[in-house]
Amino acid sequence: MLDVSGCTVLPGLINLHEHQVFAGVVGPWEAIITVPDSTLLLRAARRASLALRQGVTAVRDLGAPRGVNLTMRSARDAGLVVSPRIAAAGSPIAITGGHAYEMCVEADGPEGFAAAVRAQIRAGADWIKLMASGGLTRGVVSLSRFFALQPSPAELRAAIDAAHAMGRPVTAHVNGTEAIRACVEGGIDGIEHGVGITEDLAAEMARRDVVLTPTLSIYFRSAERAAEWGRPKDQVDLSRQIVARHREGLRFALKHGVRIGLGTDSIGDMAEEAALLHEVGLSPAQVLRAATLGAAEVLGWEAWLGSVQPGKAADLLVVEGDPAADLGALRRVRHVFLDGRMVTPAHLPVELST
């Protein structure tokens, strides 16, 4: 019998934008990406343990080099590693030399993009992830590069159509009004990051029910700490510009009722992301729903996950206090259960340093 007096029991949190192989690893991009698969898998196992400690019981892993996240998902499902549930996108798809190409499958032309999608699905991808614009990797030090559309609209549409034909949803790393618009008009299911959303785009996203996962923490932390991570000064300045534009676009998204997901990308944690979303306008109740049942709906798992009720998986989080009144309670984790099994820190099979 557990004493949970003064606590709240809620569904386990679901992180809709995770990279287990990179999460929490900071420094120059080259140092993060150029490591062997064995190191990537060890990073993923460590991240899985830390995520469980924080009450995260499911993740959507949106990309790893050479599909290492698919290996991690298989290891988790086989009971070889203790990890949150994983929906995996395999490797993202980018144009040749595009954003974060080192972790991607590179493709060119509509036929090339469609073939790359089919290959990822054959490999076992649950989602398809497209790289549709620039991002905070090597050499990107201006908003114009950060916002630049990379695949053509025809390439995006070919990829989206190929994925939908095989029953897979599609989301895209994308920033910049032109690039976001190309994804939305191409039939995308989700937008990751989404810096540069305008009011008319927000209205169209809401009309089409495109889910926005803004990953605020990666940009806010980059603006504060990129210099100490060894990033160039121009990129530090760029991060600060991005934060200002992201706040503006999120206000439009909230005004028009765009569905919002919680995701941390490779930096930050869910409690921090929750606090930042509250700061830009979501109520605690909206934040909590987005991190639980709302996320389960995005994954298509709502029939068996995302709420505390009979017949659903017993993925549970017990926190001290009431997060509906104070989202800071998400940092006061008392117990975590994964499918009814206690995975609170003291009960994890391997203790890992935080």
Residue 47 has pLDDT above 70, yes or no: yes
Task: Please name which of 5, 25, 16 lies closest in space to residue 291, comparing C-alpha atoms.
Answer: 16
Say what the pTM is.
0.94
Give Cα 187 distance to the centre of its chain. 20
Residue 111 and residue 158 in contact, taking contact as beta carbons nearer than 8 Å:
yes
The confidence band for 234, taking pLDDT boundaries of 50, 70 and 90, is confident
Task: Please name which of 297, 215, 286, 285 lies closest in space to residue 257, comparing C-alpha atoms.
Answer: 286
Distance CA 151, CA 142 (A): 19
The confidence band for 137, taking pLDDT boundaries of 50, 70 and 90, is confident
Would you give the DSSP letter of residue 12?
Answer: P
Helix, strand, coil percentages in the chain from 3-state DSSP, rounded to 5: 45, 15, 40
Residue 241 has pLDDT above 60, yes or no: yes
Instruction: Tell me what pLDDT residue 345 has.
Output: 62
Instruction: Tell me what pLDDT residue 351 has.
Output: 43
Residue 109 has pLDDT above 70, yes or no: yes
The confidence band for 232, taking pLDDT boundaries of 50, 70 and 90, is low
Instruction: Tell me what pLDDT residue 1 has.
Output: 75
List helix spans (H) across the chain: 29-33, 37-53, 68-77, 109-123, 143-147, 153-165, 177-185, 199-208, 216-225, 233-255, 270-280, 284-290, 293-299
The enclosing H or E element of 57 equals strand 56-61
Residue 306 and residue 288 in contact, taking contact as beta carbons nearer than 8 Å:
no
Instruction: Tell me what pLDDT residue 347 has.
Output: 57
Average pLDDT, the chain: 92
Instruction: Tell me what pLDDT residue 346 has.
Output: 60
The confidence band for 291, taking pLDDT boundaries of 50, 70 and 90, is very high
Residue 251 and residue 197 in contact, taking contact as beta carbons nearer than 8 Å:
no
Structural domains of the chain sorted by starting position, each given as residue range(s) with its CATH number in brackets: 8-347 (3.20.20.140)
Residue 354 has pLDDT above 60, yes or no: no
Residue 295 and residue 287 in contact, taking contact as beta carbons nearer than 8 Å:
no
Residue 12 has pLDDT above 60, yes or no: yes
Residue 119 has pLDDT above 50, yes or no: yes
Q: How far apart are the two ends of the chain, measured CA to CA in Å?
A: 28
